Structure 1
Amino acid sequence: MPRHLVIGNGHIAIGFDDTAQIRDIYYPFVGELNHVGGHRCAIGLWVDGQFSWFRDPAWTFDIGYHEKSLVTRVLAEHPDLELSITSEDAVHQRLNIYLKRMTITNTADVAREVRIFFNNDLMISETEVGDTAVYDPERHVIYHYKRNVYFLFNGSTEGSRLFQYSTGVKRFNHSEGTWRDAEDGELMENPIAQGSVDSVISFRMFLKPHESQTLNYWMTIGSNLQEVSDLDDYVKDSGPNLLLDRVTVYWQRWADKSATWFADLPESVQNLFYTSLLMVRAHADANGAIVAALDSDILQYNRDHYNYVWPRDGALAAMTMSEAGYHGMVRPFFRFCAEALTEQGYLRHKYNPDGTPGSSWHPYIVRNERRLPIQEDETGLTLMALWRDFTHHQEIEFPQSVYDTLIRPAAAFLAQYIDNTLSLPKPSYDLWEERYGIFTFTSCAVYGGLMAAANFFHLYGNDYLSERYRKTAAAIHHGIMTKLYDAERGIFVRGLIQENGRWHQDKTIDSSVFALWAFEVLPPDDERVVRTMQAVEETLTVATDVGGIGRYEDDSYFRFSNADINPWFISTLWVADWKIAKAQALSDLAPARQTLLWVAEHALPSGALPEQLHPQTGEPLSVSPLTWSHAALASTVLHYIDRYRVLLNHSL
């Protein structure tokens, strides 16, 4: 199940399902650790002797965000219960406080008592072993803790506090969980439980016919009881309504920093642009980690997830955010990479959000052949992203701060990790993490990284190194032109694969060859690039009503049909980007505009973009939201606007 809503503040992140119920809580890093683990923190209501959880199919939901804000706006309705609920969820922009406001309307013609139940189903530090759930009679709150992680739950209605509570055992020894205690509308008020535990707290209100009242519910997170108690006092002293309203304003002010003229793009694309910037921000940790996704449901497939920092994904997201004006947000990413860089000068496959190496399936040895288990494009792209950030903002001091820790060692590695007989980078794994060889995408990223390094060395007065790396980049350029070009078909190939000691061209049509022009190896209107990108579009366009463009021929990842590959948002947007880059008249932008409309139409109702779509149904596949998808959408919108402005001026 995809995550339809994600909110956060750089220290905690929370994911919600399609019924607006919490499935993931990450702390103390965005993406690490998950204290819910995909289980459901359920919400239920009791009225007129009837009880219903939000997961019941009788509820209908309209899910989204407040305009230009990381504050949710959800409408839930249950015709049989005659209840309508508008809820808003937010994480305080600075403090570890989660806020929820529910406006509950009695749509019946009679007065009624309504009780609202919140099930707190935690597995602190990603295990249910050794948790404790406690009722504190002095503060009249429930808190859960284990070692140095504490969660405190509280709330209020208009004029009253928490009504009832209970704690108990869950998912152990035939115990389903304390949530079962709620279904008769009463809680047994068991004050403490340890082990695999959950808790429930309830609130009640008395509603006149067609009357609405507000319920506030909040959670504070910290490293000890005093910390979460102080945050609880802060919420009560400040007022939860005022705090939530301030969070809304904060994110709207944040989004307004990228305020721009949108040319002829429709409102749906404009809204998705802002949502995409906010989604990238929600997936960014304060220490610089930009995680790929926060959707823990991917665990069901291989017991691993996307909650890692792939330097490639992070670099591409950083390029977008820098171009959109968020230089301050991307600086920590480059510091993160500088600290993560190995002594040899390369970035590893992926990292945990705390900066430690992530899990990997790339081996160090295959058939007695030693390998460096990396995707070299990640190192090259990080340097390229850093240079593009400088060109956008001209802040000369920041690159200098990572000159010795990132720029020099990474450039030195790229310059020496070369097969001189081919004038190409030595073999590494491709950007899809599936095959080992020398690839066009990787070679272009290395070229771009070397050119970025040469520019930095020139900027800081080291003309010797600048010229040296320009010559090395020129050699890579020559290798791309001579070894990765299929003269017979007149297009560039995916890469080179070694068989029996000899290198052979991998002629699979792969959308990643967009790197040829995107990383400035060749101009977008070069006839070889044009033929290559046309081959990508013609071969990989999904021939169903869903449409879109796949990654590469015969892609098997999450494939459901032998007849069709799955459309990916990034691949589809790469082709649109190319059309934008080579457009010579406003009319040439029409296909790219149509692609942006297609993306908006295939986003989830909340605006979240998954990794890929089912080719027949259009349903989201793999994780959602995917940071890369949102970064690509925002980038394409920015490129469209810039090109539209240039062409409009030329036409005047």
Structure 2
Amino acid sequence: MIKQPNVILGNDELLVTMGKKGDILGLFYPRRDHAQHVEESLACIHTGEKLLWTNDNDWHSIQNYIEDTNIVSTKLYHDSGIRISILDLVHPEVPVLIRRFKVQSQQKMSGKFFYYSNFNVGETSKKNSGFCDSEARLLAQYWQNYYIGIYGLPEFTEWQIGKAMDTIWWTNAKYDMEDGKLQRNKEDIGNINNAAGWDLELEADGANEFVIFIGAASSRSLLYKRMHELSKLPLEHIFEKTREHWVMWLAKKHVLKMPGLEGHNNLRQELFNAYNRALLMLYLLNDHEHGSFVAAPEFDSNFEKCGGYGFCWNRDSAEIVLALKHSGYPEYCDRFFKWCIQTQLPAGSWFQRYWLNGDIAPSWGNFEYSTQIDETGSTLHAMDIYYRILEGLKKVEFLEEVWVSVLRAAEYLMKRTKSGLHESCMDLWETYYGVFTYTNASIYAGLMGASHLAEENGESGMARRWKKRAEFIKQATIDRFWLQEGYFAKGILNEKLDKTIDASSLGAYIPFGMLSPTDPVERDMILFRIENIQKKLSIPINGGNGIKRYENDSYIDGNPWVVTTLWLSEAMFAFVLDLPNGKEGPYAEELKRLTVEGVKYLRWALAGATSTGLLPEQVDKSTGKPAWAIPLGWSGSLMLDNILLLDKICRRNAGNNEQG
């Protein structure tokens, strides 16, 4: 079943996704991509008369992050007068989720507090084993070397280990709670679930607190040790340690100033908050051992409506690590490019997508005609951008480390572009096979980057050869794909020119730099393309316009995407910075207009975030709510890029005002 989160939290080993009402949707351990151990995990209240599940529609919720942290506060209000406050955090050093429930009622109540879980440990419902250690007051479920455990404070007084099956309903822990009393079965095997129970005695406006520890480990003994040691610590101590961990990590960031935005309807503070949230979110999508990123926490593992998102694409991750570097976190580039060296295929290219440990992932890109050549171009381009930022010995060491990988990738791109346009492959949207503007632009950037690295490495012959091919690709792309209407065609499909306007054609300028605003002809091409994308791909919602991927897009109802909208605003901001500034300059009005419009798109993206500030892939074109993959790492990286560019514009404008 597809379940999209409203919030995520975790540490280096554990990633947890939750719904708006605090129900756990995903529990990923020990990596962000595998294994996902939860089918269902949430609290419920037995009032003495009936069972109230906390994810029912009868509950109203308010959910947010504690400022500058990945600690979550959820408040639930029931029509009957019951209130539940949930504080969720993951310890920064061990894979244990700690959940504090504070239950209140306007009326006196005598009932039960239950915590129910349907674990699929090892990402399977088969051959699991579960038990209740009544002496240690620990519920545990395991499969091979994956162990998931539940411990409570105060200790639970009743429990049930049962079959998660309707055919054996009388042992099923989910049904066992309905009469307000659990059977206390101690162990079972197969497709199983569990529940723990506590007495709930409330005076009018009184409160009871329950703390649930949900831990993961690779062995039974380690699980016991983790739960035992953590349960001895005061919750206030764990909370403060966790809060300090996130605050200290954020303290390394590049500091924003945004002068001149102070009076713009709280925009400055909204951007500060979005900047911090994007950084904190990307931390949680990163595999800290291998350096790779999941595109988004997996939510469609059965590939019901898509091919899944819980994998690493070089294209997305290359943009993410550069955004993090510009934001003050260079270590992500170091780890990711080491991962790229290890995952490069023998032919010199990179695969469509990978598991985080570098194994190739499920793919429909297994052949030359179905591969995504832009993944290789994007990776080479990012390596060169990172190299240009480095200084001193670090610069020399990085070039030495990546040179063989650069050489192999560049020669692969040469092989696939003999005619000036790339050979047939799959587009970046994983929808069409053909020859594409975006892919050609990525190859141009990859070969130009490789040429620069070759020159720096004393390989001038290779540098000239690769640069010549890049220039050939650029000219061929303009000659074949630029239309008199003022935009690039999508590409060649079925040997025919497809004149569909596609937002990805922005890649010819941002991020790949095939066109430059400093050239008068190319400057006009960029502006015409921006204008046509606005005209033909805008969808009005949330008081502004979002940008869909391309004309007649049918994927998930053809919604506008945060990625494409932020791509457009980034192009606008980059254009402003690429041209001379000045109140009386020849481009003054154009630069002002692009800045204003870029800010509108930026605000549109912020309006499409979850209540906790997470950026989705899309925004529902009918409701204006976050849609599909939540959160999407690519959206987060583009938000960072946009905010950093706008900060530069604000500082430049402030400097001009001071000079004036």
- TM-score for both structures, normalised by structure 1: 0.90
What is residue 236 of structure 1 aligned with on the other side?
Answer: 231
Find the aligned partners of 2:384 and 2:70 in 1 and give their Cα distance. 29
TM-aligned CA deviation for residue 363 of structure 1: 5.7
1:285 partner letter: D
Distance 1:234 1:452, change over 3 A: farther
Equivalent in the alignment of 2:264: none
- Cα 1:532/1:17, change in 2 over 3 Å: same
- Alpha-carbon displacement from aligned partner over 1:335-368 (angstroms, at most 9, x marks no partner): 222211101110011112232111122363xxxx
Q: Which residue of 1 aligns with 2:628?
A: 622
Residue 302 (structure 1) shift:
4.2
Letter of the 1:330 counterpart? C
Per-residue CA distance 1:301-328 (angstroms, 9 max, x = gap): 2484211111111112222112111211
The equivalent residue for 1:416 is 415
Q: What are the residue-to-residue correspondences of 1:371-382 with 2, within 5 Å?
A: 371-382=368-379
Where structure 1 has 5 or more consecutive residues not aligned to the other structure, the ranges are 365-370, 560-564
Matched AA of 2:552: D
**Counterparts of 1:94 and 1:390, CA distance in 2:** 33
- Verify: 1:85 aligned to 2:84, yes or no: yes
CA–CA distance in 2 between the matches of 1:58 and 1:248? 32
Q: In the alignment, residue 422 of structure 2 is paired with which amino acid?
A: P
Establish whether residue 31 from structure 1 lines up as the match of residue 37 from structure 2.
no
1:481 aligns with 2:478: yes
Query: How far off its partner does 1:389 sit?
Result: 2.8
| Structure 2 residue 574 is matched with structure 1 residue 576 | no
Equivalence for 1:389: 386
Q: 1:335-414 residue pairs with structure 2 within 5 A?
A: 335-362=338-365, 364=367, 371-394=368-391, 395-396=394-395, 399-400=398-399, 402-404=401-403, 406-414=405-413
CA contact (8 A) 1:13 1:31 kept: no
Tell me how far apart the structure 2 counterparts of residues 512 and 541 of structure 1 sit (CA, whole Å). 14
Corresponding residue for residue 271 of structure 1: 273
- Could you say which residue in structure 2 is the equivalent of 1:253? 248
Equivalent residue, structure 1, for 2:507? 515
CA-to-aligned-CA distance 1:370-417 (integer Å, 9 cap, x gap): x34311111111122223233445342662464255323222222332
Contact 2:441–2:514 (CA<8 Å) still a contact in 1?
A: yes
CA distance in 1, matches of 2:646, 2:85: 36
Aligned-partner residue type, residue 496 of structure 1: I
Kept after mapping to 1: 8 A contact 2:546/2:562: yes
Q: Alignment partner of 2:119: what SS? A: coil
Which stretch shows the higher mean deviation, 471-480 or 128-137? 471-480
**Pairwise CA distance, 1:228:** 1.0
Query: Which residue of structure 2 lines up, in the alignment, with residue 97 of structure 1?
Result: 96
Deviations 1:390-445, CA, capped at 9 Å, x for gaps: 3445342662464255323222222332123xx23322211111112221111111
Asked if the contact 2:258–2:650 (Cα under 8 Å) also holds between the matched residues in 1, the reply is: no
Query: What is the DSSP-based 3-state SS (H/G/I as helix, E as strand, rest coil) of the residue aligned with 2:371?
Result: coil
Counterparts in 2 of 1:605 and 1:205: CA distance versus 1, 3 Å = same
3-state SS of the aligned residue for 2:195? Answer: strand
Contact kept in structure 1, 2:294 and 2:312, CA below 8 Å: yes
Shift of 1:148: 0.9
Cα distance, 1:260 vs. partner? 1.9
TM-superposed CA distance for 1:620, in Å, is 3.4
So what's the TM-score if we normalise by structure 2?
A: 0.89
Distance 1:113 1:506 in 2: 68
Q: Which stretch of structure 1 is more off in the superposition, 379-388 or 579-588?
A: 579-588
Count how many residue pairs are aligned between Structure 1 and Structure 2: 626
Q: Structure 1 residues 449, 300: CA separation in 2 closer, same or farther (over 3 Å shift)?
A: closer
- State how 1:207-356 maps to structure 2 within 5 Å: 207-258=202-253, 259-263=255-259, 264=261, 265-286=267-288, 287-297=290-300, 299=302, 301-302=304-305, 304-356=307-359
> Which residues of 2 match residues 419-568 of structure 1 at below 5 A?
419-420=418-419, 423-486=420-483, 488-499=484-495, 504-518=496-510, 519-524=512-517, 526-543=523-540, 547-559=545-557, 565-568=558-561
Partner of 2:535, secondary structure, is: helix
CA distance in 1, matches of 2:74, 2:42: 15
- The residue type equivalent to 1:143 in the other structure is A
CA gap 1:303/1:492 in 2 versus in 1, 3 angstroms: closer
1:489 deviates by 2.4
Q: CA deviation at 1:300?
A: 6.4
Residue in structure 2 matched with residue 368 of structure 1 by the alignment: none
Of the structure 1 ranges 310-319 and 517-526, higher mean CA displacement relative to structure 2 is found in 517-526
Question: For the structure 1 residues 116 and 396, does the alpha-carbon distance in structure 2 shift closer, same or farther, using more than 3 Å as the test?
Answer: farther
Point out where structure 2 has 5 or more consecutive residues left out of the alignment.
Answer: 262-266, 582-587
Alpha-carbon spacing, 1:291–1:115, altered in 2? closer, same or farther (3 Å): same
**For the Cα contact (< 8 Å) 2:33–2:298, is it kept in 1?**
no
- Per the alignment, residue 562 of structure 1 pairs with none
Query: Structure 1 residues 332, 363: CA separation in 2 closer, same or farther (over 3 Å shift)?
Result: closer
- 1:165 corresponding residue in structure 2: 159
- What is the root-mean-square deviation of aligned Cα atoms in Å? 2.3
TM-fit CA distance, 1:545: 6.1
Alignment counterpart, residue 134 of structure 2, candidates 134, 137, 154 = 137
Structure 1's 424 and 84: CA in aligned 2 closer, same or farther, altered over 3 A? Answer: same
Q: 1:280 deviation in Å?
A: 1.8
Q: Deviations over 1:502-522 (max 9, x none)?
A: xx4321101011111111111
- The answer (yes or no) to whether the contact 2:160–2:184 under 8 Å persists in 1 is yes
- In the alignment, which residue of structure 2 is the partner of 1:18? 20
Contact 1:573 1:595 in 2 (8 A): yes
In 2, the alpha carbon distance for the partners of 1:93 and 1:410 equals 38
Partner of 1:42: 42
